[in-house]
Structure 1
Amino acid sequence: MNDQIAQSLFRPTRSAGRMAVGTLLLAGLGYLLRAVWEIRLAAAGEPASGPPDQGEGVHRPLTALEDSYHFVATVTGVLTAVCAICFLAWLRRVRENAADLSGCPPKYSGLWVYLGWIVPVVNLWFPRGIVADAFRTTAPGRRLPASVSIWWALWLTSLVTGIGLIYSASTDEIIARAYSSIWPLLASDAATIGAAAAGALAVRAVTSAQLACLAGDEAATPPEWAGA
């Protein structure tokens, strides 16, 4: 391996991986806090005045607990946005590095790094495919880390619930759901938290494999990151 190539790719790959892992865990923490506040809302019960959004543009004043939930939801949204940016930056980096290391063009066009998450139907497998392709190109013959499949299964679960990272309802509507039917909310939160944790492990596994390849030392990848 050419030392100049290794030097140019080593630090960006490692730093991008660390940023992705850190922001994934922070986003997961945000959803954990959101779940705690939803449990608090359910335990407190809906006020006699009804839900915050009372229809026809009428909104009653929020309680202190509801107001604090708005704050938690806003912080979680910001953390999720930062996480998305860092994860996409990491994904683009490892995709490009895999192509440079192997000398083969990636299986998926660079546009799919971004569009693959929002285009209907293909968003069910393209993002996982890009991660898997980067790993398999970097470490041919090795099994895909189990964390990649777990991350993707949990991510899809959060999408199926309709309340996950792309849920479009207002915060007041979510508060009303916490009062009336909290379990779907908690199920979605749990799937999102699990996806964030598994995603962090997947990022570490793929990054580690790539760094090992750059260093010319395959043994540098911890076996627990490589899957069974």
Structure 2
Amino acid sequence: MSASSDLHPRPALPSRVSPPPRFLLVGVSALLAAVALSDLFAVYAGVREYTLIEEEGGFAFASQQELADADALYWTAGQLQGATFLACAIGFIVWFHWMRRYAGVLGPDRFRNGPGWAIGSWFIPLANFWMPYRIAVDMWGASTRLPADGEPYKVSFWPVNLWWGLFVTTTLFQRYAGQRYENAEALAEIRDAVLLVMVSDILEVAAAAAAVHFAVRLTAMQRLKAAEGPYVSA
């Protein structure tokens, strides 16, 4: 964007904070994709286990070996989910913190707390259902293009809201489904619990896709704002 006659350039962006490297976004996207794939594998394992349990509560037409294989596959899927989620959580928080640091350069007036909260807010019980979202909203606003010719640039926050809404919904539903599965004793209860877990896995796939979209959009916004140059009205 070229400065018009009524716009004056601000000083250049401080060089002490470098923009997030491209490989960081690629890595986070790959980790989120791995989480989604592990969820889909868990859904497949859940369907296999679910179909072996009759609605009447008995294992009909299934040999002991088939039941053992289905249970082993379901357990393996759960282990894979846990490993991929842990790796993704670490990578996402690293990316989140780096994006917050650079957003602080692009829009320092948008934040009330330091960039360290982009890490710490995820580990505060109860507050971690709200604080990371507020930081993400502030980052989104700080990365928005500045007004041109006196006209404010409007940007939609729906990618942030969609990502966070799915993330919180998935987290709460997974806890509920996991508790139901752990407490299930009768075969009918196990069958119902497996169905709930499959639903939570599908929700996590949607949440991972929304997180990728949020990450890509935020990164593009930051690069565009940095490339255009910071300007203010005269």
- Fold agreement, TM-score > 0.5: yes
Cα distance 1:22–1:113, how it changes in 2: closer, same or farther (>3 A)?
same
Cα distance 1:108–1:17, how it changes in 2: closer, same or farther (>3 A)?
farther
Which residue in the other structure is 1:40 paired with? 48
Matches within 5 A, 1:61-210: 63-104=68-109, 106-139=111-144, 141-163=153-175, 178-210=190-222
Q: 2:175 is paired with a residue of what secondary structure? A: coil
Distance in 1 between residues matched to 2:193 and 2:181, nearest whole Å: 15
Which residue in the other structure is 2:18 paired with? 9
Deviations 1:56-95 (A, max 9, x none): xxxxxx7112112222211121111111111111110110
Which residue in the other structure is 2:6 paired with? none
CA contact (8 A) 1:42 1:179 kept: yes
Paired residues, what number?
Answer: 202
Corresponding letter in the other structure for 1:206? L
Max Rg structure: 2
Distance in 2 between residues matched to 1:184 and 1:171, nearest whole Å: 8
Cα distance 1:128–1:154, how it changes in 2: closer, same or farther (>3 A)?
same
Distance in 2 between residues matched to 1:171 and 1:113, nearest whole Å: 33
CA contact (8 A) 1:73 1:171 kept: no
CA contact (8 A) 1:23 1:82 kept: yes
Q: 2:122 is paired with a residue of what secondary structure? A: coil
Corresponding letter in the other structure for 2:71? E
Higher relative contact order (CA 8 A, sep 6+): 2
CA contact (8 A) 1:17 1:203 kept: yes
Distance in 1 between residues matched to 2:58 and 2:74, nearest whole Å: 19
> Normalised by the size of structure 1, how large is the TM-score?
0.74
Which residue in the other structure is 1:27 paired with? 35
CA contact (8 A) 2:100 2:139 kept: yes
Distance in 2 between residues matched to 1:170 and 1:67, nearest whole Å: 19
Q: 1:113 is paired with a residue of what secondary structure? A: helix
Q: Unpaired segments of 5 or more residues in structure 1? A: 50-61, 219-228
**How far apart are residue 102 of structure 1 and its match?**
2.8
Corresponding letter in the other structure for 1:156? V
**How far apart are residue 28 of structure 1 and its match?**
1.4
Deviations 1:191-214 (A, max 9, x none): 211111001000000011011122
Cα distance 1:125–1:20, how it changes in 2: closer, same or farther (>3 A)?
same
Deviations 1:73-122 (A, max 9, x none): 11121111111111111110110001122344733433432332332332
Distance in 2 between residues matched to 1:172 and 1:2, nearest whole Å: 57
Which residue in the other structure is 1:54 paired with? none
Distance in 2 between residues matched to 1:107 and 1:40, nearest whole Å: 50
CA contact (8 A) 1:14 1:211 kept: no
Percent identity reads 20
Corresponding letter in the other structure for 1:207? T
Cα distance 1:144–1:17, how it changes in 2: closer, same or farther (>3 A)?
farther
Q: 2:123 is paired with a residue of what secondary structure? A: coil
Distance in 1 between residues matched to 2:193 and 2:83, nearest whole Å: 26
**How far apart are residue 174 of structure 1 and its match?**
8.3
